[in-house]
A and B are shown apart, each in its own frame.
Chain A
């Protein structure tokens, strides 16, 4: 067997073992050292150790635990009820006001926490029953919660883009700048879609009776000042500091953590118990993500040593695809990978396989990253492994069927595809802001 063939065997065996359900980080490390021992003898063990040390000293990944911690603190800060209530009051004159308020709350809260499951379950307990009580169509209400809850992995500052930056060597700052407008475009499309549905058929989204009475403007402003604006300003400060180059993502995230702790203290939610919870969850999630990096770097250095990347590159080139065809194929593969895998593994393990091909097809890795981030939104909402739908089903009243949730989320999945197409056709949407801020 030639080396590249061994490389292909390595990849095939890895995919097989993943399907057996063994922890992926360990599978990657094992494949790396077995095949590495075959290829380069005991030097592979030194490589494993230096890779571990490199992951530990990676200054891009340093931001990961910080953003996770900020998310866990905000998640536990009792802000969500107030936030939803005040946005509901502010949006009350819009068509489909409750659904619009849900989307905006989701977008803001998800951006701040970045934890999909938590946003969907919390909003599923808060906004979903409120919409059903008001007489909303079950499907529409379910779709709004599922789609809105996933926005946080796309809209910066998101952990997904940090991992993508660390994997591909792309600047996280540029990725954040590039993701800004597409993220808002997607959220905006969601809102427009919901309002359009509500205008065409008001029965789908009736106005809740308790909001039909006029509210004193002062009350609305006060509610917004004490819930919406603190969180909004916190996110914008973190993001602004990063985008305008005032601070590295790590520094901005650390200040964001301090801000989140302050916010939690103001809402009287900062107990030692909650601080412990946030700290321990951060430690566990960081370990999960970063051990994947140790495995992935070891695996892919052996894979490319064996010449595996060249085989894939030669094979893809032999297909004689146009760049557009290649991009569609790549996105389709990532879409399908969303079924057995979670987004962390897709970004850390499979994106490096596509990476050398991007250069061959002359595709900007930043645009590719934005498309991947959009694409991964759908993996939470497409059956059979629609995690967002399962979370909602788990907490929804028993009469809500899983199929109704799937059906409700489907239009939003199409909106994601539309956004991907728009960003591909008009890459300026993503690239304008980074070019404006940093030149070429």
Chain B
């Protein structure tokens, strides 16, 4: 089961990271526009559409990746004080009640929305370049699908935590600098304690 969960984590992370590289296109595409406008006095007609498209794709498709890292922010003042089983029970109920309906709706209603856009070959209204808009809209049901898959994994995690009384492991990944530094410090303190303890035993 844990193997299956980690497979889903890897899937979400893979998708999220792949779309994360939109960042580079966003940075250099926009810099190119600024260069063209100020240095060559020849602004592009695609940069504006490119910018929001890259940003929209980037954040929407990173949603499941963020969920796999437990990165969607919680008001966890009380939550973090609760025993693991209690957390898991509440999370499980709320995933079923609150998570799945929302993203199911986004999937079911997002699909015809994107289809319509595709059928009429909708293009951006913001510039004469005529950039197609349907690929971005098609990401809505796709992103919802990945969210649902990852949400299923999270719900299964809750069941495992209910049974075992401990949260199952997640994949290793890059963490915010402060979390990484704090984790390092804790590990060092624990090591020092162990050395003191073993020294005392001797």
Contact = CB atoms under 8 A, between A and B. Distances in A.
Contacts of B52: 56-59, 62
A120 interface: yes
B176 A118 contact: yes
Contacts of B63: 287, 291
A358 interface: no
Contact of B31 (A76, A118, A254): A254
B177 A53 contact: no
Contacts, number: 233
Nearest to A46: B109
Given A254-B30, A284-B66, A345-B73, A391 B90 contact: no
A22 B65 contact: no
Given A22-B91, A57-B56, A283-B23, 8 more contacts: A26-B72, A32-B102, A56-B57, A65-B55, A125-B181, A258-B28, A284-B16, A287-B71
Interface string B78-119: 111010000100110010011101110110111001000000
Given A65-B26, A291-B63, A52 B140 contact: yes
Nearest to A23: B72
A287 B31 contact: no
Contacts of B79: 20-21
A59 B48 contact: yes
Contacts of A33: 101-102, 105
B23 A394 contact: no
Interface residues on B, range: 35 or more
B185 interface: yes
Given A21-B78, A57-B52, A121 B113 contact: no
B78 A284 contact: no
14 contacts: A20-B79, A20-B90, A26-B102, A29-B98, A45-B108, A53-B113, A53-B136, A56-B55, A56-B136, A118-B177, A251-B30, A287-B66, A341-B75, A395-B185
Contacts of A246: 38
Contact of B65 (A49, A55, A115, A284): A284
A66 interface: yes
Interface string A401-440: 0000000000000000000000000000000000000000
Contact of A30 (B57, B99, B139): B99
A33 B57 CA distance: 23
Interface of B: 16-17, 19-21, 23-24, 26-31, 33-34, 38, 48, 51-52, 55-60, 62-63, 65-67, 69, 71-80, 82, 87, 90-91, 94, 97-99, 101-103, 105-106, 108-110, 113, 136-137, 139-140, 173-174, 176-179, 181-182, 185-186, 189
Contacts of A247: 34
A24 B185 contact: no
Contact of A24 (B17, B75, B77): B75
B110 A69 contact: no
Contact of B58 (A27, A65, A394): A65
Contact of A46 (B16, B26, B113): B113
B27 A69 contact: yes
Interface string A8-23: 0000000001111111
